[in-house]
Chains A and B, each alone.
Chain A
Amino acid sequence: ACGAPTAFGASACFRAERDSRFPCCNVSCNRLIPLFLCGTASRTMFSSPRAARKSEALLRYAILASVFALAFTMRLFSVFRFESMIHEFDPWFNFRTTKYLAEKGWHEFLNWFDGESWYPLGRIIGGTIYPGLMGTAATAYWVLRFFNIAVNIRDVCVLTAPAFSGLTAIAAYLFNSEVADEAAGVTAAFFIGIVPGYISRSVAGSYDNEGVAIFALVFTFYMFLKAVRTGRLSVALGAALSYSYMVAAWGGYIFIINIIPLYVLIMLLAGRFSYRLYTAYCTLYVLGSLLGMQIPFVGFNHVQSGEHMAALGTFGLLQIYAFLLWVRSLLTPDQFKSFVRTTIMAAGGAVALALLAAMSTGYISPWEGRFYSMLDPTYAKKHIPIIASVSEHQPTTWASYFFDLHILTFFIPAGLYYLFKDVTDTGVFLIIYGVTSAYFAGVMVRLMLVLAPAACLLGGVAVSKTLKAFFGMLKASMESNKGGDESASAAASSGPASATPVRSKNARRGRTSKAAAAQEAAQSGRDLSILVTGCLAVLMVMYAWHAVWCTSEAYSSPSIVLAARGHDGSRIFFDDFREAYMWLRMNTKPGIKIMSWWDYGYQITGMSNRTVLVDNNTWNNTHIATVGRAMASNEEVAYETMRHLDADYVLVVFGGQVGYSSDDINKFLWMIRIGGGVFHDVHEPDFYGQGQYRTDKMATKTMTDSIMYRMSYYDFGKVYSAQGVTGFDRVRNYEIGLKEYELKHLEEAFTSENWIVRIFRVKKPENRGGVLADPKIARV
């Protein structure tokens, strides 16, 4: 809905830039551009300031409403292209838990012990998740049901993220209204509504924590800044509530609880301490921590974990600082100096000692691996393969900056420039937010999501300030024109466009030389401002264009249904995953256990309703390593492990038939690494034939003996694939090494249409022969 005015204004500006020698266009431009800059120039159109303010507010709210609608509808591409379904991996878990919550209520949900995942260890769902997302969706569901609106829980889940994206746009507007002004707010709202970096995580069906958490993030910042600006306790309380929602929704709350203390610290160092800041921070910290502790998964982290200590330290520092200010007001400067030297040093020493003791006794836990890997990008690769194995934990490339942020990449420095030029309490916060998030986004791709709002907010400041400056020039030149020649100006604004240049030329002839010089300056300023505003308009059109294209082409794929373009440009769908999961659901006994790599755990429990050994909640590295080792070992060894783990079926994903590149053979190296990290009988070099990781003729015996190879390529050697060759792997583009073999302890149970999912049954032990006892009993 908002696309129309945007495109309209932009095309007009584009015309203006091209024909800038014709002053006639200025006026029309002047009227149209404000449609998306709203607050600045629209005032000129109305005589009474009060009426102008009113109508400006109306326009602003109209624009915000259309940005909301735009943000929502942009994310529906995935529904139109595919269908209303849950995407990817984690959303399946969230969906499953939401269903449980909606069905059984909070008490059951909080105490839910799930025996279907992580067999046989199980998982206490209530204590190991951030329940904010499920709570939000379930509440929406209950409310709608209460009003007799018969919705499907799945549709509520699918549409949660788009709806919250609209709210994020509103929150961004409020934030920038705090930092700069309403114009910057509206611009930021427009940016954030369609920024690809955020859309990638919030399309319809992408039912993940981030979908609601980004709203909570921006809104918490807004409330906090408002509290800092006004010093009102109630606003600070609002910030604490918003923060607790963020804690309930996403582990990224760590970012908030570290960046706000950083901000406070910098304000102290910069000498910008105020009691407003004191009130805002202390309220947020104390209440926010107390509320955050109510989430079982977070629990005592706020007082015990290393990641939260910066906030605690800053809280203490603020008290000391405030205390010192009070003491200073009572003492003479000399007394004060000696007082500081003696007491404060001693107190500081005591605090440092206490911290050291707490750290060494383990009361305060050391930093987690994930936290370290944020500070040192190479840490995960060296020490924690399970973190490094996830593609979204890889360092960000430059291309993805441009892809996810587009022009905002270049507006970040501009925004920082404007904020530095005119430093305010709230502006400092946005500077810190922008800089830190830019750093973290460089560490892992996933955190691009945190940078995207910052970039939008900074971009909003940059664009609106620039436009404001140049529109100011434009307006000034117009007014100087108006002052010189009322009739010409009036004609320019109301009369036919073609008549204007002639008349103004005639009018200009009669001026004095001094006035002519001023007129000349105004003319050049006007040309420059037309050029700049025109360029910006074009950039923004391109941004909108890019965002739509990204959403449509790259970010709307549900990844459980794959789409490809045929030779004639038509869309081909590969629905193998759902086919296979449905097969499991319909053809196996309830309660059977399925072994697969952890990526598919959530989908199997979600879609097949069967028990899995490991899933995407990678809390137990050893268990995952056991599965990785089984996949990497030969059939005999693997069979022992599978019997020990009670696995009834093994599921592998194989892309060699259709060229689906994120299959298990490509992930296999990580299974070997993770398995080898725990079990020392798995050696990575054993899988490298002639120094390379390959499955063709160069493959080692360990490789071709592994059940991963055996299952993936089972019977594949009998298939004529490309170029009349049998067993030609289309992902890796070569003929596979070992083609003819039989399986002993496994048998093929199901292979999907395009061979993407293959399921193997683990055979029962032979009736005669072998060792008799149950391996679990025989173990001592």
Chain B
Amino acid sequence: SLLSRVSALRTLLQLVSMARVPASIAIFLASLAVVTSRPVAGSRTLVILQSSSLKTSHSAFFAALEARGHDVTFELATGNKAALEEHEERLYDHLVLFAPHAEEFGSSKLSAKAISHFVDAGGNVLLAADAGLSELMRDVAAEFGVEFDEDSSARVIDHFNFDAKDTGEHSRIVADGFTAEEALLPKMEAPVLFEGAAFTAMEEDTLLQPILSGSPTAYNAKPASSLKTTPSAVGKAAVLVGAVQGRNNARMVITGSLKMLSNEFFSSPVERTSSGGKGQVLPKSGNEVFASEISKWVFQERSVLRWQNAKYVSKGKDGEGKIEEGGVLRIKDEVEYSLEIAEWNGESWVPFQGDDVQVSMVMLDPYQRRTMKHDGKGLFSVQFGVPHVWGVYSFIVDYRKQGYSYIHSVLQTSVRPYHNNEYERYIPAAFPYYMSAVAMMAGLFIFVGLFMYHEESPKVKQE
């Protein structure tokens, strides 16, 4: 029986190790293959192509994706098999839409609504547009609050910043209006080449964050035609590449140019030219770096934040006394609020180093708003006084910094007034009252004594 037990144990161990081995091998291989980064969660990527030729013309881009651990599936826009979700479950984590001219999807399971539902369910989308955008792609873009010029032949023209290889329309432009937010896009060494359409944010929509904007002289119009009205997008308002992050932290990047992600633009030199003359020549455009950075951002390989362990600790009066975690707070006490925030750097979670994370203590209106300090290990905390007004408060951290995923943490607590036995018992100002009470009692005692044991003298009676 002992032998059988040992053998059973052995098989069990084998089963465990067998289960573990493939996973660890996979991780090992992935870490070998992925030099720079990988997505924080899920790497199933669906690429929908206008035509199969894009696979070769944009091979460098796809190769980079695969090198970063993406499990890429290619589908043609006309193909009838593609589906993003099945039984309310996402089949993919990321979607690349390289089909700017597709009038309709071959698959009945794909539509503008399906794509927006995919995003609402947490999927990320990279959408490449182009001049001559189809109605379908306009609808997809509109779901993300992005609006293209009604004239489909309009494209970005810049008579002062075009590339030397331009064909004469001045629409192969040299763009360097990068966003200053490093979380969105690290500092770029070289300008990028861009050829395609610019877009604008829809009215009242504040979710669109520009990654690349046009130069002050860029505008969006039909080439080689005289302008009768103001173009739909001019200068910095003409967004060339933009990012949208949903409230569920799903990310979308829309680029107005499909070509800027192509092998040709990746390797092309840049020679900034204007109508006045030629500028300096750079041997290689910034397109490859740019494409890599924006795809890392959109596929959650960078600038991803997560928070945990939001809590508050009551420190008692003047920050001393009993230290109590959670529960009901008392007015005028000190409270310490803390929260851990980590950032995904592409390989692992590292402590977040932001120094502008604020916490608010809110009851209808903010009563306290403090910037938290961190200890370098991702623990953000701040100590402050509980408001002097009792009620039900929420500690709210609503951190929405461009490029980073949002942090919205709400922690509800009650702030109570003093209990009836928590006030100071003997205060100097009340001593006259104590004295008067004691004097009254003593007086009454003496009076009663006198009253009871005093006999009226007969002398008075005689009178």
Listed in ascending order, the chain A residues whose CB lies under 8 Å from chain B are 107, 110-111, 113, 115, 119-122, 124, 126, 296, 591, 644-645, 765-774, 776-777, 779
Contacts and interface: CB of A to CB of B under 8 A. Distances in A.
B143 interface: yes
B248 to A, nearest CB: 5
B119 A773 contact: no
A774 B408 contact: yes
* Residue among B364, B366, B396, B416 facing the most chain A CB atoms (10 A cut-off): B364
A770 B144 CA distance: 11
A120 B120 CA distance: 31
Contacts of A110: 420
A778 to B, nearest CB: 9
B400 A773 contact: yes
B247 A776 contact: no
Interface of B: 116, 119-120, 143-145, 202, 204-207, 244, 246-248, 250, 328, 360, 362-366, 390-394, 396, 398, 400, 408, 412, 414, 416-417, 419-421
A-B complex: 5 closest residue pairs judged by Cβ atoms: A113-B416, A120-B392, A111-B419, A115-B414, A767-B246
B363 A768 contact: no
A765 B408 CA distance: 13
Nearest to B145: A769
A776 B396 contact: yes
B247 A768 contact: yes
A296 B423 CA distance: 15
A774 B397 CA distance: 10
Contacts of B363: 120-121
23 contacts: A111-B416, A113-B328, A113-B414, A120-B363, A120-B391, A122-B390, A122-B391, A122-B392, A767-B246, A767-B247, A768-B116, A769-B145, A770-B206, A771-B204, A772-B206, A772-B400, A773-B398, A774-B408, A776-B364, A776-B394, A777-B360, A777-B396, A777-B398
Nearest to B330: A113
Nearest to B205: A769
A645 B398 CA distance: 17
A296 B420 CA distance: 10
Contact of B120 (A124, A767, A774, A777): A767
Contacts of A107: 421
* Residue among A113, A765, A779 facing the most chain B CB atoms (10 A cut-off): A113
Contacts of A767: 119-120, 246-248, 250
Contact of B366 (A644, A645, A768, A777): A777
Contact of A776 (B362, B391, B414, B421): B362
A766 B206 CA distance: 13
Given A768-B116, A776-B366, A120 B393 contact: yes
B414 A768 contact: no
A767 B252 CA distance: 12
Contacts of B143: 768
A591 B412 contact: yes
A122 B360 CA distance: 19
A692 B137 CA distance: 52
Nearest to B412: A591
B366 to A, nearest CB: 7
B420 A111 contact: yes
A177 B248 CA distance: 77
Contacts of A124: 390, 416-417
A569 B408 CA distance: 59
A777 B364 contact: no
A645 B362 CA distance: 11
Contacts of B362: 776-777
A639 B257 CA distance: 39
B392 A121 contact: yes
A110 B204 CA distance: 51
B392 A774 contact: no
Nearest to A120: B392
Nearest to A126: B420
A124 B360 CA distance: 24
